[in-house]
Amino acid sequence: MTLLADTLARITSPDPAIARETQALLDGKTKPRGSLGRLEELACRIAAARGVPVPELPVKAVVVMAGDHGVAAEGVSAFPQEVTWQMVANFVRGGAGINVLARHAGAEVIVADMGVKQAVDLPGVRQVRVGAGTGNIAREAAMTRDQAAAALEAGIAIAQELAQRGVTLVATGEMGIANTTPAAVLAAHFTGASPEEITGRGTGVDDAGLARKVDAVRRALALHSRAAADPLDALARMGGFEIAGLAGLVLGAAACRVPVLVDGFISGAAALAAVRLAPAARGYLVAAHRSVEPGHRRVLAALDARPLLELELRLGEGTGAALAMHLVDAAVRILREMATFADAGVSDSGR
């Protein structure tokens, strides 16, 4: 059995009885029932994912996967393609937004070259390259089915390694010039959204760039969407190396009962692909934030997920997911550290 098939077979939904047990514990804390709102919901979700009513404080990692995209040739990004390589170098030097926010969250950062056009051969970059950039999805498949499986398995392997090292909360991050285009195509394929509603300005294309991007999304959808035989085929035809890698990370984490904070639009498209491959993976996902990218709404709706934060972010890299880590810590600490009505001698209203 392959690592992918084995992982898909191992994923089972979190036990809702554990979430109920966690909620009962929260109801005994010195506060009106439910008054910590979505923080309580989050504590219950983390508990159920971990399989224990009172989970440990999370040990955290952000996995930033990078890849290049043939569709950049269609003029769909405001930045030149070499920026993917340059930003990966920035990640391993610790100067990027995700480095700052991961330090702030107390999370380690794992940087993986899943398929940057020119290999990023720098200390601290994991070389799990599947190819030197994908094919131009407006004209051809992004990758072969075997490449998609290899990228998924690279993500699964990283999740397994992190879980074995004791990591209990993973955030998804990505870097890849033009990668909002394959994300839009995949999101449209999985949700049925139109090219116009799913496509946004990414890092900031102008009106002409947006028109080119919508056109590229339309052509890619026409070429691949009906032809895609299954979710793996969809990832291969319309995805990207880092997108498939993140889908694998989600699957591997779910199989290890490690909850995943899903960052923005691109991570969301990857998570949606993962859930189409293994629906039970959904129970391990927490949507970190709603990005400015308009298609993100459709992705979140398809995941049936309400994001924790809405801060008008559109940077990617996992920055929104890293910001949400503090809320997960806060939720778990409430559960672990708050006094009960009985402990504190406080009168309970019973409501």
Our finding on whether 344 is near its own copies (CB under 8 A) is yes
Query: Length of the chain, please?
Result: 351
142, containing H or E segment: none
| Closer residue to its own copies (CB): 158 or 315 | 315
Binding mask 102-121 for its own copies (x = CB under 8 A): -xx-----------------
Our finding on whether 346 is near its own copies (CB under 8 A) is yes
Our finding on whether 35 is near its own copies (CB under 8 A) is yes
Taking CB under 8 A as the criterion, the residue among 11, 18, 39, 116 binding its own copies is 39
Other CB atoms within 10 Å distance of the CB of residue 311: 13
CB 276 within 8 A of CB 184: no
Instruction: Quickly tell me which residue has 């006094």 as its tokens.
Output: 339
Q: CA 271 → CA 23, 118, 214, distances in Å?
A: 27, 26, 22
| Closer residue to its own copies (CB): 6 or 304 | 304
Taking CB under 8 A as the criterion, the residue among 129, 189, 296, 314 binding its own copies is 314
Q: What residues contact 71, with CB distance under 8 A and at least 6 apart?
A: 134, 136, 137, 138, 178, 181, 182, 216, 220
Structure tokens at 6: 């084995």
Taking CB under 8 A as the criterion, the residue among 192, 204, 211, 279 binding its own copies is 204
Taking CB under 8 A as the criterion, the residue among 11, 18, 64, 96 binding its own copies is 96
Our finding on whether 347 is near its own copies (CB under 8 A) is yes
Q: Which stretch binds its own copies (CB under 8 A): 75-83, 118-126, 133-141, 143-151?
A: 75-83
- Residue 83 CB, shortest distance to its own copies, in Å, is 5
163, containing H or E segment: helix 145-164
According to DSSP, the β-strands at 260-262 and 285-287 are parallel
Lay out the sheet containing 107-115: strands in order across. Answer: 125-127, 107-115, 60-67, 169-175, 260-262, 285-287
Catalytic residue among 41, 74, 174, 317: 317
Q: Which stretch binds its own copies (CB under 8 A): 37-45, 127-135, 142-150, 211-219?
A: 37-45
Q: What residues contact 188, with CB distance under 8 A and at least 6 apart?
A: 194, 195, 198, 217, 221, 225, 295
- Residue 243 CB, shortest distance to its own copies, in Å, is 19
Our finding on whether 165 is near its own copies (CB under 8 A) is no
Known catalytic membership, residue 161:
no
Between 241-255 and 3-10, two packed helices, what is the crossing angle to 10 degrees?
50
Catalytic residue ranges: 317
Chain residues that interact with its own copies, rule: CB under 8 A:
29-39, 78-80, 82-83, 86-87, 89-90, 93, 95-97, 99-101, 103-104, 203-204, 206, 292, 308-315, 319, 323, 326-327, 329-330, 333-334, 337-339, 343-347, 349, 351
